[in-house]
Amino acid sequence: MNALTNSIDIALATMAAEREPGRCYSCIEIAEACGCDSGTVRNIEQKALAKLRHALKRAGFEKVELDPA
């Protein structure tokens, strides 16, 4: 695991632990907290959604819409 990935993981865990109920963070807020740019956050999000879609399809959920708000 490289230093940037480690830094992002720590920042996300901290944000999640301190988050108020119902609070959503923008890609820009996440990027600032993680020390990267919003494009990196968006790429990570897209890769995670692709993995989730694949897992859901394998499990038989082919009609699931996963579109980030």
- pLDDT tens for residues 7-64? 888 888 999 999 999 999 999 999 999 888 999 999 989 999 999 989 988 898 876 6
Is the model's pLDDT at 69 over the cut of 60? no
Residue 30 has a pLDDT of: 92
The residues, ordered by sequence, that sit 6+ positions from 17 with a Cβ below 8 Å of its Cβ are: none
More confident residue, 3 or 29: 29
Contacts 24+ apart (CB under 8 A), 22-28: 24/69
Cα–Cα distances in angstroms (integers) from residue 12 to residues 5, 43, 51, in the given order: 11, 15, 19
Is the model's pLDDT at 1 over the cut of 80? no
> Helix H segments across the chain?
3-18, 27-34, 38-58
Write down the pTM of the prediction. Answer: 0.70
Residue 67 has a pLDDT of: 64
Place of tokens 């990935």: 5
